[in-house]
């Protein structure tokens, strides 16, 4: 390669490196989460074709490239991990405000044996799928709805049946084993 050709390619490379890179146009999303109408903590996840593009805590602005997305808003601290999804369209230089209000109640299962407090666990199910377990006397926030409660103490089990939790309700259940 001649010196003049080398100089030309070197000059062209330097010009490319010095050229400003145009940023992809963006818009902004901000979300607010409520639990039973009261401010609450949560997270927003912006997704495209099932892949997460961006995420942040609700209450903070999130820059998102222009396009169509699904925004998943999730309530922090709820036992069943409730989520509300919204379709959004991000336009250059605009802001979108998203809100989600989650209807929840509180469930507590107290286990006793021969009239005394006992250590055991309550298995919480929804639609025949196990969501998790709660220790005796432990409270949990759950989405309002119907749940199946099974209580285990040592090698015994009691089915408390289907239980409906209403928005704002604090439901305490007792399971006594002999």
Which pLDDT belongs to residue 14?
A: 46
- Residue extent(s) of CATH 2.60.40.10 domains in the chain: 25-102, 104-177
Which pLDDT belongs to residue 1?
A: 58
CATH number of 104-177: 2.60.40.10
Which pLDDT belongs to residue 147?
A: 97
Contact (Cβ atoms closer than 8 angstroms) between residue 171 and residue 106: yes
Q: Where are the beta strands (DSSP E) in the chain?
A: 26-35, 38-40, 42-48, 51-57, 62-65, 67-75, 83-90, 95-102, 104-113, 116-117, 121-126, 129-135, 139-143, 145-153, 156-165, 170-177
Which pLDDT belongs to residue 16?
A: 46
- H or E stretch including 8? helix 3-18
Which pLDDT belongs to residue 19?
A: 41
Please state the length of the chain: 178
Instruction: Give strand pairing partners of 49.
Output: none
Which pLDDT belongs to residue 148?
A: 98
**Residue 115 in tokens:** 């009239």
Contact (Cβ atoms closer than 8 angstroms) between residue 153 and residue 122: no
**Residue 56 in tokens:** 């942040």
Domain 25-102 architecture: Sandwich (2.60)
In the predicted model, residues of the chain with pLDDT beneath 70 are 1-23
């Amino acid at each position: 390669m001649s010196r003049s050709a080398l100089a030309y390619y070197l000059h062209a490379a330097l010009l490319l490196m010095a050229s400003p890179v145009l940023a992809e146009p963006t818009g902004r999303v901000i979300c607010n989460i409520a639990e039973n109408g009261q401010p609450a903590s949560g997270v927003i996840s912006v997704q495209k074709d099932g892949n997460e593009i961006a995420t942040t805590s609700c209450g903070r602005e999130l820059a998102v490239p222009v396009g169509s997305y699904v925004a998943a808003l999730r309530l922090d601290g709820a036992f069943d991990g409730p989520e509300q999804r919204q379709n959004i369209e991000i336009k250059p230089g605009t802001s979108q405000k998203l809100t989600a209000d989650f209807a929840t109640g509180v469930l507590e299962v107290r286990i006793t044996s021969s009239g005394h407090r006992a250590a055991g666990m309550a298995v919480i199910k929804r639609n025949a799928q196990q969501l998790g377990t709660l220790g005796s006397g432990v409270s949990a926030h759950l989405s309002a709805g119907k749940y199946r409660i099974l209580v285990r103490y040592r090698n015994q089990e009691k089915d408390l049946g289907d239980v409906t939790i209403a928005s704002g309700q604090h439901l305490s259940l007792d399971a006594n084993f002999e």
